[in-house]
Amino acid sequence: MAASVLTSHMAGIDVLRGLAILMVIVFHGMAYSAPELKWGAWLPDQIFLLTGWGWLGVNLFFILSGFLITGILDDTLQQKNYYGRFYIRRALRILPVYLCTLALAWATRSITGNYVVVCIFFLANMPGVFLRHGYKLYPPLWSLAVEEQFYLVWPSLYRILKRTGMFYVSLALMVICPMLRALAFAGMLHTGDPLSKTWMIADNLAIGAILAILVRSSRVTVKMFAAIGWAQFAAGVLGLSVLFGLHRMDRPDPLRNSAGLTCFMLVFSSMVVLMLCIFRTRRLPRFLRFFVFFGDISYGLYLIHMLMLQYYDRLAGDRFRSDPRQLLLRFAVANAIAIGIATLSRKYFESPILRLKSRIAAAR
């Protein structure tokens, strides 16, 4: 059965987590930081334009989260400490680094106190609902809010509806969320940024949940699971080819952000399936271990990397917006510091805290 692809350490998932964080880092350090920058030659300009798609790394993170969290819930559904185990483990993983990042950002005036309060309640993806004006936000935190809102709802739903019910809920979200995004980008729904609202992008998490459910089904073999992955890949690539061919992906129109995002999700979901199947028994080749390293430090790196870019700008100014060499220097220096901090955090701060899981009875 397909569950044989699930091992205690799924190296293929680590690779995809590393890919996701690198996509986000390149996006924030390049196209996001200097969207109007010209490099003076066709090839560098085209490569720079490609970095503008790096924001999709967050959507890949959501798919991985939906897959892993749903798997955890399914595997522990019959345990008496179902809720306690889940929430204690999530708190140990999420809160220490999250709260330290908030404290550092507030202490260095990168964010305002009222925004910190909103973030403590994991509402950073909708600060405008609670704070009308006079706040300074930190962009990476919106996705943490989406994750925590998912954690708040999904375990209870899974406990009530079980595997079959949640499979159909996830399928429904795959239909409903793209429709909501299309309505929002068509100006028929007014919710602020649709791509940061949990109810608009829950299909990112749902497609990962579908994979977690399918892979645990006794009816699904490894061969069938791989075929599902290839079918997703084909559908996603075909859809993107059509949308790019119609020039519907080069501007923020309803199709780009509804069907287009769904096509990207199908491709990413297929990558999850194929990485699980390929590395079910094989060892990772050496060149992929580069991604595993970044996957291991991805959480801390995601939270800290934009702060390092902001601190660099305070010292060096904003010449990077019009000078490619300055942009590359900024990217290298700020991210090298961020990687160093994230590596130290993972080894000496996060890992010791995570080991507490074995000492807390309710978390076992």
pLDDT in tens, 140-170: 999 999 999 999 999 999 999 999 999 999 9
| pLDDT confidence of residue 251 | 74
* Residue 363 banded pLDDT, cuts 50, 70, 90: confident
> Reduced to 3 states, what is the DSSP secondary structure of residue 213?
helix
In the chain, alpha helices (H): 11-29, 42-51, 56-75, 82-107, 113-120, 127-130, 141-185, 198-215, 222-245, 254-255, 261-278, 289-296, 298-316, 324-345, 351-354
33-53 as b/e, with b when 16 or more CB fall inside 10 Å? bbeebeeeeeeeeeebeebee
Under the banding of pLDDT at 50, 70 and 90, the label for residue 178 is very high
Any idea which residue has 């809010």 for tokens? 145
Mean pLDDT computed over every residue of the chain: 94
**Predicted pLDDT of residue 277:** 93
Residue 104 structural domain: 2-363
CA dihedral defined by 180, 52, 118, 360, rounded to 10 degrees?
A: 100
Residue 14 has a pLDDT of: 94
- How far are the Cα atoms of 86, 156, 161, 210 from residue 73, in angstroms, in the given order? 8, 10, 12, 13
User: What was the pLDDT predicted at 6?
Assistant: 87
Residue 361 has pLDDT above 80, yes or no: no
147 neighbors 198 (Cβ within 8 angstroms): no
Q: How much is the pLDDT for 190?
A: 84
pLDDT tens for residues 253-264?
A: 889 999 999 999
pLDDT of residue 362: 76
Q: Can you tell me the distance from the alpha carbon of 160 to that of 173, in angstroms, rounded to the nearest whole number?
A: 17
Number of domains in the chain: 1
